[in-house]
Amino acid sequence: MIDIWKTVVMQRFAKFDGRAGRSEFWWYYLANIVINLVLTILMVIGFNLAGALGVLVLLVLIAFWVVIIVPTVALAIRRLHDTDKSGWWLLIGFVPIVGTIVLLVFYIMEGTSGPNNFGAAAEPASA
């Protein structure tokens, strides 16, 4: 999980072309959930111990969110490419509820086998 997260954030930071398989996508999201959960717990503890400590952890959490914006969007676009959908489908996420459900279905779908309009099959994730 950590290796995939590092690969997405450091090596494929702004790679919007190509394809990303389901395992790469979901392991990355699981890692982000764990990191967010840990930082949120630390923030709550920090606010209970000393307000300044909580603010410091909150700033770290905000910095984390800012850092992962580009790799997260790039990964989502590559995941859509794996299902032979344009990255522009990501904009449907702005439609409340329905857009989120549509994107979730696309993210869960199995990618096309072999090459498609967006390149060769996704490289297997090293989980």
pLDDT confidence bin for 125, thresholds 50/70/90: low
pTM: predicted TM-score of the whole model, two decimal places: 0.87
pLDDT for 41-83, tens place per residue? 999 999 999 889 999 999 999 999 999 999 999 999 999 999 9
Cα atoms found within 13 Å of the Cα of residue 83, Cβ hemisphere only:
22
Residue-range domain boundaries for the chain: 2-108
Phi, psi values for residue 119, rounded to 5°: 125, -170
The rounded distance, in Å, linking the Cα atoms of 13 and 27 is 16
CB 5 within 8 A of CB 28: yes
DSSP three-state, residue 119? strand
Query: Where is pLDDT greater, at 105 or 9?
Result: 105
Where residue 56 falls (left for φ over 0; alpha for ψ -120 to 50; beta otherwise) is alpha
Closest alpha carbon to 82 in 108, 56, 102: 108
